[in-house]
Structures are given as C-alpha cells and as structure tokens.
Amino acid sequence: MLDVREAGILLHPTSLPGPFGTGDIGPEACAFADRLGQARQRWWQMLPIVPPGAGNSPYSSASAFAGSELLVSPEWMREDGLLDASDLTAAESRSGPRADYAASRKVRFRLLAIAFETFERRGAKALKEAFERWTVANETWVADWALFRALKEASGGVSWVEWERPLRDRDRRFLAKARDLHARSMRSHAFTQFLFERYWTRFREYARWRGVGLIGDVPIFVEHDSADVWVNRELFQLDAAGRRTAQAGVPPDYFSATGQLWGNPLYRWKAHAETRYRWWTARLRQTLSRFDLLRLDHFIGFHRAWALPANATTAANGRWQRGPGDALFEAVAKRLGALPLIAEDLGLVIPEVKALRDRLGLPGMKVLQFAFGDDSEADAYKPHNHVPHSFVYTGTHDNDTVAGWFADAGGPSSTRTREQIARECAFALRYLGSDGREIHWDMIRAAYSSVARTAIVPLQDILGLGTEDRMNVPGTASGNWEWRFETVSERAFDRLAVLSETFGRAPAQLHPAVRDPAPVDLRLAPASIELESGQ
C-alpha cells in the first residue's frame, strides 16, 4: 500500500468549521475532502474519533470501539428525516476560532434525543430495518457500551468503580435487571452509534470518490473509567475493587522535564495472551473498518511501558514493564491478515523498539521539528538520513506549530532554553536554505522533497499559524484539542498541489485503497468551504 510517493494533511474533524460548536463528519468534512483532492493529496490523517474524555482529549475515551457523538452530522440527520429545519436553526451558533465542547455537547445531545424520538415514532421502515441489522452485527460491543452509558447517566456520571458493588462487579442478575430498567436509554445510545457508523460510511465513501484515503489513530492505552475496562477487568492491572494498581505514563523527555502522567491502567499482557489477544483483535478490526491506515500511538509501549504507582503525582519515578512484542501482532495478523499500520516510534526509542518495528515491516515517523536540536534521534530526523519506508511530518498534534516553534522566545512554558532555540533555529535556517520569512513552507518543502514515501503536514503549518493555534500541549490538562479553522485560502492549497507535483507526490491514479468506491449519494453533496485569496 505504501510503495508510491504520496502526501496528506493532519486535521481532526472537530477542527472543521460549522455551526454546532465543533466540526463533524457531515457536509464540511466532504467539502474538505474536495479540497484535498484538488490539492493533489492522497491522505487525510485524524486523531482518534472515539468519544472524547477528560479535558476533551480523544486519547482519553470511555470506549475504544464507539464513535464520538460530537461527530454525528445534524445536517445528515435532517436528510434522514430525523430532524426538521427548525431544529437545526434553533441549534445553530456562530462558528468561533475555538471548539466549544460544552456547547457542542448541549446542542448535539439535544438533537440526537429529538432524532431518536422521531425515529421511534415515525422513522422510515428502511432505516429501522438497517438499525436492527446493524445492532445484531455489532452486538459484541454495542450492548456493553450502551449499558455503560445508560448506567453512567443514571449514576450522575460517577466512575464505574463507585457504582453499587453488584453493578461494579457485573453480577449477572443485576446486569439483567439493569438492562430491563434502562432498555430505552440503551436503545437510544445504540441508535446514536448506528447514526455515527451510517454517516461515517457516507463520508468515507465520498472521500474515496475524491481519491482521498483516511488514516486513523489507535492510542495504545484506554481510559480507566471506560466500558472496555469495566467489561474486561481481568485484562488490566486492577485490584479486587477495580481500582488501578499501576498507571501508565512516559519518563521525562522533550515535552516535559517531569515526564507525562497519563493515568491509564496498564495491561495484564499474560491475560491477553491467554485469549490469543481477542480484545486487541476486535479493537483493530473495528478501527480498520473505518480507516485505510492506522497510526499506532506510543509504539514503544508494545516493547515496554513506563509503569508508575497508582498514586504518583509526577511521572519521574517509574519502572519499565515488558510489553507483548511480536506475539500480539502475529496473533492479530492470523485473524485479520496484513495490517496497514504506522508505528509512532517517537520518544526514547531504544534499539529493541526499532528492531520490533522493522521485524513487523512497519513504517516509522520522522518529525522535522526534532531534526535540528538536541533530540537523541535528531540525525535520523534530518531529511538526508530519511529512509523510503517511513512517514515524514513537519510536526504532530503534540508539537508546537512550525511557526510557533521557530518564534519560541524561551519563556517559562518553553521546553528549550534561549541558547538551545538560537542554536536550533540557526541550524534550521542553514539546513533549509531559508531566510525565515516563510519557515513553514520551507519545512513543508523539506518534507515533500524527502525520500520518505509519505509526507503529512498539519493544516496549521500549511496556514502558517503560531503557537496559539497548536492542538495540544502534552502534560497540560486544559485548553487543548480546541483549534478550529474558518476558511482556507485557495492559494495555500494551490501551493501544496504544486509541491506535490514537483516532488512526485501527486497521485497519477486512484490508490488501491480508494479505488472503485461504492456509489455515492450525490444528493448529499456538501456546501463548499469558503475560500479566500491571499494566503
């Protein structure tokens, strides 16, 4: 799949414009796929599309299987006859420069409730039959998710560890009673997931029609307060009451002097092996049903994970725990076949991690922002040292933007000293042959000229945006995941198309992953993203 030179853009759907607080996978997503096709881009890479958790993070979800309710398109619910025009008008708010998750949840959950009531009363027969078929086909995960969500609502949102003991411990009699008591709520949550899958499929088919493939993201760990952990306690390092006995994180690194304390429960890999990695197989099968490629977040963790005490307040003092290594991937491949995966091999990449990546034949990541400073892998990130079987990025969702990285003044929040910044920027200018006036385009050009077969650029870098527009600051709990754009200049995408043509990344024909799509319902052709010249 990755044997030709290609390019793409990193953008999470919540960053799309739209009138409902956050972007979604409706008309604006299709409009962006239009622009990607016109800009000669093959790939649209996203962050996880599961329900966001603490701090609105898509990496801290209550489910590794469910789709985010915030991504369900109100416009397409209206197309399905589930909402009236007046429902949308009453829910609309002005699209701002930041994603408003609180407003989005309020608006979208109300619209989903209206849609469900409409569906129950007078939904089209074909839609009801499709829902029943989908529910049966997805029963292995959707029933647990729907019950978990119903019980969370009934308990006022407290963690499952705090539920009354029979429910916490999944006593069969109490679960049966709970299913009867919350049957309607469960059906409503299942219906929301049905709509998510229905609209995701519609959007994905449209993207394929435009020649654009989708790259997803799989966080290695899952949230403690999740349906996955509640249902599969034996697969995680928990005590008899369901509380964590250890938590995941990463040791001090480029992003944080005290490391990152993630709080996720660690896996009992022996228990996974005893099931032949059944849960991981189901998880990857589900995610691969939505994407053409998957980025494995924190690939290092499959070799070893940084384990910290459950009550730790920083990630500085931990110990390494061995991961599953080849065994997990061999077991999954036996059931799913060849796995189209990308290894996020950033951080403390020891030789054993590289060896695991190479044995599995996975492309790794080369991040240009790390090429000019003191990173231990800096030489490997320099374009003249890249290898074809890799993905090159100007930056990731965890990095500052290129413009922000270059303009860093070395203040209290910086990860670098003023001396490091001056040395790094001077080297970057010399290496790139740049005068610094369009440092973002110079970095994009370096990525596109690399021998790495795939180049991915965050949209913020294409727009030349600064630190205030970065997506995430690792180690911080608030203010992240909120970046949105309102317009994209035609000139910016034209420049991207020229670079794709110049460096052999423009698709000559449809990629096998996006060839021969299913027919697209063109009645749902999206409104175009507003364009303006001059960028």
The residues annotated as belonging to the active site are 297, 344, 398
Task: Give the integer Cα–Cα distance in Å for 282 and 262.
Answer: 24
Residues 6 or more apart in contact with residue 291 via CB below 8 angstroms: 214, 215, 216
Judged on CB neighbours under 10 Å (0-12, 13-18, 19+), 431 is middle
| CB burial string 411-422: b at 16+ within 10 A, e below | eeeebbeeeebe
Task: Give the integer Cα–Cα distance in Å for 339 and 328.
Answer: 12
**3-state SS, residue 174:** helix
Would the CA dihedral through 200, 206, 209, 212 be positive or negative? Answer: negative
Task: Give the integer Cα–Cα distance in Å for 225 and 263.
Answer: 11
Bridging pattern class, strands 390-393 and 454-458: parallel
Task: Give the integer Cα–Cα distance in Å for 20 and 409.
Answer: 36
Task: Give the integer Cα–Cα distance in Å for 285 and 267.
Answer: 19
Bridging pattern class, strands 246-250 and 6-10: unpaired
**Alpha helices for 337-417 (secondary structure H):** 351-360, 378-381, 402-407
